Amino acid sequence: MKKIVVVVSVLIVAYAATGRMLMGRSSNEDKAFRALTVYSEVLEHIQRDYVDEPNIPAVTNGALHGLLDSLDPQSAYLSPLEYKDYKEKSASPALGEAGMALTRRFGYIGVISVLPDSPAAKAGLRIGDILEKIAGFTTSQMAIDQAQLLLKGNPGTTVKISAIRRGKAEPQDIDITLAKLAAPKLVEDKVAGDIAYLHVPEFNAGTTAQIKEALAGFQQKGAKKLILDLRDCAIGDEAEGISTAQLFVPSGTITTLKGQTVAPVNYTADPAKVVWNLPVAVLIGNGTAGPAEIVASAIADNKRGETVGERTYGIASQQKLIEMDNGAALILTTALYYSPGGKNIPAEGITPTQEVHLSIDQLMAMNDVVAPTPPPSASPDDADMKKAIDILQNGVTPAKKAA
């Protein structure tokens, strides 16, 4: 077995070197050649010097998972067995869901946001929680899509997870009872005279149409200003985020999608689609991600309104599933969304134009795993709301940190 591995390693390096000579010596080719050389050397040392006879397929599988994990949270490697299971689960219709947005954090699956009244919310899960195990499977090296499939099934099915709660060190076993989720409703309210309030929980198909209808209703009722609450909004389709931004922005760029092999696509404003041309302030936070980030950055960078709160999570991107000849598959990020100002949204998130940081009491409440986390609301006691109301009533003041 040792000889086989060494021979294969030599062949890999020889192949890379031959290709390098035939194609020239570009910088990327030099880097690829050096990486293959290092990989060959490491593999040879493992085979020759490791304390026991190594399981080479397991070593290779781990190396490929790590390779994709090092790129970004959304990219992943699925072994032939994992991909087979993934396709089988994807083909089975599942009406029951947990209702939360996930990412990869610290090598495990983490929670970005939780839909109001969802099974995940009822189980007490919140942003920052780490799901160490789902249905008995460790989430180390698990793709986000795999985790989402494990959290779907028939309504009434119980999925056991092991979660490390925010502010805690030890995992806690939690049962989530899956349920068919009703389409999350927009939360409409009126605050401080002529200021309307609208919370958007997700950007799934039809959300833009609902927002358009709500905005028209606000104007009929005499609203002159708007607080658009995108906190804890991390689920949905980027296309819906783009079309929603067009309801507010009359000119300029909404967002740009581009990647190494993806020709830049520039999404622009359309004055014919604008529904709300009155003042607006957008509430954002750590649980704001994906299409909501596109909306927030389009409004802020085009000077249509202020963004209030904390930096967003940073996800807005496009993935592609690539099948391999050996039955494995890659989930690979191929393009990223950029703000009108040119910021890489997944890498930088959206920084609010008016920052509002949590007070000590609010931070303590967030680390209380017993008390439920209230969903975003128009509460006058909310620091983000207070700041937004002040901006809309009195105009923009220099950005400052607020408790």
Tokens in use for 241? 């985020």
| Residue that finishes a domain, picked among 134, 158, 177 | 177
Question: What is residue 23's predicted lDDT score, i.e. its pLDDT?
Answer: 47
Q: What pairing do the DSSP bridges indicate for beta strands 280-284 and 225-229?
A: parallel
Question: Strand order in 280-284's β-sheet?
Answer: 187-191, 195-199, 225-229, 280-284, 305-309, 354-355
106: left (phi over 0), alpha (psi -120 to 50) or beta: left
Do both 276 and 312 map to the same domain?
Answer: yes
At position 330, the amino acid (one-letter code) is L
Which CATH number is 94's domain given? 2.30.42.10
**Distance between CA atoms of residues 33 and 14, nearest Å:** 10
Domain of residue 110 covers: 80-177
DSSP lists the bridge partners of residue 101 as 113
- H-helix or E-strand spanning residue 108: strand 108-114
Do both 262 and 386 map to the same domain?
Answer: yes
Tokens in use for 109? 């699956």
Helices of type H across 167-283: 207-220, 238-245
Do both 135 and 192 map to the same domain?
Answer: no
Q: What is the pLDDT of residues 363-382, one digit of tens each?
A: 555 566 556 667 788 888 89
Task: Show pLDDT as tens, one digit a residue, over the chain (403 residues).
Answer: 444 444 444 444 444 444 444 444 456 667 777 778 887 888 888 888 889 988 988 888 888 998 899 999 999 999 999 999 999 999 988 899 999 999 998 889 999 999 999 999 999 999 999 999 999 999 998 999 999 999 999 999 999 999 998 778 889 999 999 999 988 889 999 998 899 999 999 999 999 999 999 999 999 999 999 999 999 999 999 999 999 999 999 999 999 999 999 999 999 999 999 999 999 999 999 999 999 999 999 999 999 999 999 999 999 999 999 999 999 999 999 999 999 999 999 999 999 999 998 666 655 555 665 566 677 888 888 999 999 999 999 987 554 433 3
Tokens in use for 359? 């007070």
> Three-class SS of residue 138?
strand
Let me know if residue 401 belongs to a domain: no
Let me know if residue 264 belongs to a domain: yes
Question: What is residue 105's predicted lDDT score, i.e. its pLDDT?
Answer: 86
Q: What is the pLDDT of residues 247-291, one digit of tens each?
A: 999 999 999 999 999 999 999 999 999 999 999 999 999 999 999
Do both 129 and 173 map to the same domain?
Answer: yes
Do both 252 and 297 map to the same domain?
Answer: yes
Number of domains, the chain: 3
All residues at 6 or more sequence positions from 130 whose CB lies less than 8 Å from its CB, including other chains? 105, 106, 108, 109, 110, 111, 163, 164
Length of the chain: 403
Do both 368 and 223 map to the same domain?
Answer: yes
Cβ contact 77:328 at 8 Å? yes
**Distance between CA atoms of residues 384 and 398, nearest Å:** 16
> Three-class SS of residue 257?
strand
How many CB atoms lie under 10 A from the CB of residue 178?
Answer: 23
Question: What is residue 402's predicted lDDT score, i.e. its pLDDT?
Answer: 38
DSSP lists the bridge partners of residue 181 as none
Q: What pairing do the DSSP bridges indicate for beta strands 280-284 and 305-309?
A: parallel
**Distance between CA atoms of residues 166 and 369, nearest Å:** 8
Do both 233 and 373 map to the same domain?
Answer: yes
DSSP conformational letter for 357: P
Q: What residue has token string 């009406």? A: 95
Question: What is residue 399's predicted lDDT score, i.e. its pLDDT?
Answer: 46
Let me know if residue 400 belongs to a domain: no
**Distance between CA atoms of residues 118 and 178, nearest Å:** 9
Do both 144 and 257 map to the same domain?
Answer: no
Do both 243 and 97 map to the same domain?
Answer: no
Let me know if residue 182 belongs to a domain: no
Cβ contact 208:195 at 8 Å? no
Do both 142 and 254 map to the same domain?
Answer: no
Question: What is residue 183's predicted lDDT score, i.e. its pLDDT?
Answer: 82
Let me know if residue 136 belongs to a domain: yes
Question: What is residue 367's predicted lDDT score, i.e. its pLDDT?
Answer: 61
Do both 103 and 215 map to the same domain?
Answer: no
| Residue that finishes a domain, picked among 177, 205, 231 | 177
Q: What is the pLDDT of residues 155-207, one digit of tens each?
A: 999 999 999 987 788 899 999 999 999 888 899 999 988 999 999 999 999 99
| Residue that finishes a domain, picked among 156, 177, 198 | 177
> Whole-prediction pTM value?
0.87
Let me know if residue 74 belongs to a domain: no
Cβ contact 305:281 at 8 Å? yes
Cβ contact 182:171 at 8 Å? no
Let me know if residue 220 belongs to a domain: yes
> Three-class SS of residue 64?
helix
**Distance between CA atoms of residues 188 and 376, nearest Å:** 12
**Distance between CA atoms of residues 328 and 41, nearest Å:** 25
How many CB atoms lie under 10 A from the CB of residue 253?
Answer: 20
Let me know if residue 67 belongs to a domain: no
Do both 202 and 161 map to the same domain?
Answer: no
